[in-house]
């Protein structure tokens, strides 16, 4: 064989690059997307690193693997991979997966609306895609229930002082801080380096000081942070900057006080934000919530019902957004390539 691994992928973005692997992956054991995710994590985590680290990826890259569905209602399954973890759910990645499945003909497209069910590791995700002339114009998905884990909690962040935060689950646990607490810091691309520094420090302090529990995912904690503030755009309600970890954090090493900014408005982050606003009485059911990312594009969220997760009050969110295909990719690993899991360098990685 010419190459050790040959993988077919469709590259998409909604700001953040979100790769969708469509072929070249051997059978992954498991009776659900969640079990397949856990098997991959335990037995072939080098694949995630190969696809997301240099030279095939970079700090803000995400990746998805299309897998056969296990649930009889599902049309397709997928596994989500990011730089430090396997999230059970991701909104932007879900929008990209739907776009690839329909625009590449892997599932039939029906105009003007295609309805389908995806099997994420978090469970079944029901989708409506608005389609026109063979293109996906918008994707709306019904997410897993979201809830507030902490509201207006005050944490001590070394080098920053006391910071007030919320923690919400939207498919991942987000620690969310109002950016107006930090003088001179604004949610705009040119402040990206400082946003990443402040956010990574808040995330680490929250991990240490604010315990969280999800009854379905033992051991899953806070892994991601969001700075939030009102938007100046009349077409948006709030603006956000989500920072994803790109390596291990250490208080003793300032070079690790960084991360990769999510370039899209962030689907699960939108759900977590809506859950915390609802818990504070600031967002009603069926009220549109237009959430803007750093690049100016917007996801529109909506809380459609109240529910429970264990003994916690929760809400069921929907999110609408758009993704674009930008490349068709055949990724290979040469037999002689010594970097079988890619590599990271401290100039741009934590």
The residues assigned a catalytic role are 90, 266
DSSP type of residue 216: T
Yes or no: say if 77 and 69 are a contact pair by the CB < 8 Å rule: yes
Is there a cis peptide before residue 112, judged by omega within 30 degrees of 0? yes
Alpha carbon of residue 99 to chain centroid: 16
Yes or no: say if 99 and 133 are a contact pair by the CB < 8 Å rule: no
Element housing 67 (H / E): strand 62-67
- 47: buried, middle or exposed (CB in 10 Å: 19+, 13-18, 0-12)? buried
Phi-psi category of 266—alpha, beta or left, where left has phi over 0 and alpha has psi -120 to 50?
A: left
d(CA 317, CA 319): 7
Residues ≥6 apart with Cβ < 8 Å to 187: 179, 195, 227, 228, 229, 239, 240, 241, 294
């Amino acid at each position: 064989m010419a190459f050790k691994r040959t993988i077919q992928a469709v590259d998409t973005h909604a700001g953040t690059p979100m790769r969708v692997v469509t072929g070249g992956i051997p059978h992954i054991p498991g009776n659900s997307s969640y079990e397949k995710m856990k098997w991959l994590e335990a037995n072939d985590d080098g694949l995630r690193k190969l696809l997301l680290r240099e030279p095939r990826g970079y700090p803000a890259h995400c990746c998805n693997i299309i897998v056969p569905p296990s649930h009889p209602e599902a049309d397709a399954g997928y596994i989500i991979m990011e730089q430090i973890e396997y999230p059970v759910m991701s909104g932007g990645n879900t929008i990209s997966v739907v776009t690839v499945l329909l625009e590449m003909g892997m599932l039939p497209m029906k105009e003007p609306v295609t309805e389908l069910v995806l099997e994420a590791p978090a469970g079944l995700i029901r989708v409506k895609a608005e389609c026109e002339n063979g293109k996906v114009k918008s994707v709306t998905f019904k997410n897993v229930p979201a809830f507030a884990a902490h509201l207006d909690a005050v944490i001590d962040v070394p080098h920053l002082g006391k910071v007030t935060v919320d923690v919400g689950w939207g498919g991942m646990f987000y620690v969310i801080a109002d950016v107006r607490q930090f003088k001179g810091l604004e949610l705009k691309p040119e402040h990206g380096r400082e946003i990443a520094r402040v956010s990574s420090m808040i995330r680490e302090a929250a991990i240490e000081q604010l315990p969280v529990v999800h009854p379905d995912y033992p051991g899953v904690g806070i892994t991601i942070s969001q700075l939030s503030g009102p938007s100046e755009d009349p077409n948006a309600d709030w603006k956000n900057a989500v920072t994803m970890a790109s390596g291990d954090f250490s208080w003793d090493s300032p070079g690790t006080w960084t991360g990769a900014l999510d370039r899209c408005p962030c689907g699960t982050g939108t759900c977590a934000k809506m859950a915390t606003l609802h818990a504070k009485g600031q967002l009603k059911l069926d009220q549109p919530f237009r959430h803007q990312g750093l690049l100016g594009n917007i996801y529109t969220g909506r809380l459609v019902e109240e529910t429970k997760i264990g003994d916690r009050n929760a809400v069921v969110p929907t999110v609408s957004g758009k993704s674009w295909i930008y490349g068709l990719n055949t990724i290979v690993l040469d037999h002689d390539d010594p970097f079988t899991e890619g590599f990271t360098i401290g100039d741009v990685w934590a």
